[in-house]
């Protein structure tokens, strides 16, 4: 065999080895790509994304699309080197370090559970924000999530309990419950009034000394809401909090005459809190690509994401800067009527 042939044979063999190694060698990165969109005033598999009963609703035209990011990699599904390299060459996707999205100690199950809880909270906040925008009263509640094992609350306060009062005084915020407990000296008892199913009962719980020396009962709580009529949101296998703004707009549109889109295809993203404040999200570049691919011409952009958005906005997509739910509604009204200011993301 000639030296040239031998060199080519060795080079080919090494290339094959590198290709095989690259196909199986895991790397600590995640590939983000444009995910599917869903019309919050439309249907998914024949079922409305938002369904409202016990209150008059109105037909809505156009589209109010929530946008998503698909990802490869993460806990339990490490990315291989070749997939990562392909991602670095594709301008529509991003390759980011795994630990920038997932804590090193997270398992795949923990990530899924966290995404599901964030979506649940996002939907609750979105409903509260939309109804508050419409001046429809919303009652905030405090719900027990869990009690720490071995803590005074263990076996006394149960998941799903709604705390309405502490020591006979009504409470409406999680912080108010904690403050009421901390007014006690460690070792004293605290009287909780809770709704458990259809019954209301008083539950007496002892206290321990916390790390800061203050009284604690060892209970985890979260804010929830009681709405005056049922509002259900169903989007299938979508997690995380970033669809909050679009849920709120979809609810608002269904509860008001006319159409806030004016028949346009509008997409957007952003978290929303119960007061209607819009917060930033991740994956803005991929979400814009997904929105434009699905026909959107307007993209509602959280103000804090504007700087990143303007650097990679797809052709034909207009960025509208939003800071609040009320501001988003007014911007869409200005777009529909052709009057008034439409806030835009500044061009750098």
CATH number, domain of 217, equals: 2.30.42.10
pTM for the whole thing? 0.79
pLDDT of residue 214: 95
Residue 114: helix, strand or coil by DSSP? helix
* Res 49 pLDDT > 50: yes
Pair (190, 211) in one structural domain: yes
Same domain, 273 and 333: yes
62 and 162 in a single domain? The answer is no
122, 248, 254, 287: which one is catalytic?
Answer: 287
In this predicted structure, what is the pLDDT of residue 121?
86
Residue with structure tokens 């599901």? 116
The yes-or-no answer on residue 321 being catalytic is no
- pLDDT, one tens digit per residue, over 267-290 is 999 999 999 999 999 899 999 999
Mean pLDDT of 292-303: 96
CB 217 within 8 A of CB 153: yes
Catalytic residue among 242, 248, 259, 265: 242
3-state helix vs strand vs coil in the chain, percent to 5: 30, 30, 40
**If you average pLDDT over residues 18-41, what whole number do you get?**
70
100-124: pLDDT as tens digits: 566 666 565 666 677 677 788 899 9
Task: Give percent above pLDDT 90 in the chain.
Answer: 64
Co-location of 197 and 264 in the same domain: no
How high is the pLDDT of residue 341?
86
CA distance 1 to 137: 87
Please tell me which residue, 315 or 104, carries the higher pLDDT value.
315
| HSE, side-chain direction, 13 A CA sphere, residue 257 | 0
> Is position 93 within any domain?
no
Between the alpha carbon of residue 38 and those of residues 141, 247, 294, the distances in Å are: 30, 10, 10
User: Residue 118 and residue 240: Cα distance in Å, rounded?
Assistant: 5
Confidence at 253, pLDDT banded by 50, 70, 90: very high
CA-to-CA dists, residue 286 to 32, 91, 93, 319, angstroms = 7, 10, 6, 14
Query: Which pLDDT score is estimated for 13?
Result: 47
pLDDT in the model for residue 248: 97
Residue 221 β-bridge partners: 144
Find the domain containing 189 and state its range.
140-226
Query: Does 242 qualify as catalytic in the annotation?
Result: yes
Residue where one domain finishes, among candidates 226, 241, 273? 226
Query: Of 210, 226, 242, which residue sits at a domain end?
Result: 226
Evaluate whether 217 touches 154 at the Cβ level (below 8 Å): no
**CA-to-CA separations, 197 to 158, 169, 200, 277, in angstroms, rounded:** 11, 21, 8, 32
> What CATH number does residue 258 fall under?
3.30.230.10
Of the chain, the end-to-end C-alpha distance in Å amounts to 62
Q: Which DSSP state fits 313?
A: P
Separation CA 79–CA 77 (nearest Å): 6
Q: Which among 178, 204, 226 is the end of a domain?
A: 226
Residues 161 and 214 in one domain: yes
User: What's the confidence (pLDDT) of residue 292?
Assistant: 95
254 touches 60 (CB < 8 A): yes
Contact between residue 266 and residue 332 where contact means Cβ atoms under 8 Å apart? yes
Q: Is 315 a residue whose pLDDT tops 60?
A: yes
CA 181: distance to chain centroid? 31
């Amino acid at each position: 065999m000639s030296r040239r042939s031998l060199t080519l044979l060795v080079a080919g063999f090494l290339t094959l080895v590198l290709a095989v190694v690259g196909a199986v060698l895991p790397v600590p990165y995640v590939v983000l790509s444009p995910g599917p969109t869903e019309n919050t005033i439309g249907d998914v598999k024949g079922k409305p994304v938002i369904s409202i009963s016990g209150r008059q609703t109105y037909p809505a035209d156009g589209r109010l699309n929530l946008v998503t990011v698909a990802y490869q990699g993460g806990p339990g599904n490490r990315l291989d080197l070749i997939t990562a390299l392909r991602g670095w060459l594709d301008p529509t996707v991003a390759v980011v370090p795994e630990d920038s999205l997932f804590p090193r100690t997270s398992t795949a199950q923990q990530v899924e559970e966290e995404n599901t809880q964030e979506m649940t909270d996002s939907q609750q906040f979105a409903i509260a924000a939309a109804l508050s925008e419409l001046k429809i009263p919303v009652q905030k509640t405090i719900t027990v999530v869990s009690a720490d094992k071995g803590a005074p609350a263990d076996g006394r306060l149960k998941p799903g309990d709604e705390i309405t009062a502490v020591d006979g005084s009504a409470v409406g915020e999680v912080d108010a419950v904690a403050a009421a407990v901390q007014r006690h000296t460690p070792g004293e008892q605290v009287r909780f009034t809770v709704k458990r199913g259809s019954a209301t009962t008083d539950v007496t719980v002892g206290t321990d000394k916390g790390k800061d020396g203050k009284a604690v009962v060892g209970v985890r709580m979260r804010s929830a809401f009681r709405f005056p009529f049922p509002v259900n949101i169903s989007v299938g296998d979508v997690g995380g909090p970033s669809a909050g703004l679009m849920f709120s707009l979809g609810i608002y549109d269904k509860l008001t005459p006319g159409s806030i889109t004016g028949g346009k295809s509008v997409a957007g993203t952003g978290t929303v809190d119960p007061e209607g404040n819009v917060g930033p999200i991740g994956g803005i570049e991929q979400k814009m690509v997904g929105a434009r691919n699905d026909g959107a011409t307007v993209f509602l952009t959280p103000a804090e994401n504007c700087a990143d958005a303007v650097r990679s906005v797809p052709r034909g997509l207009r960025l509208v800067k939003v800071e609040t739910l009320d501001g988003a509604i007014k911007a869409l009204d200005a777009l529909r009527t052709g009057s008034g200011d439409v806030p835009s993301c500044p061009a750098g």
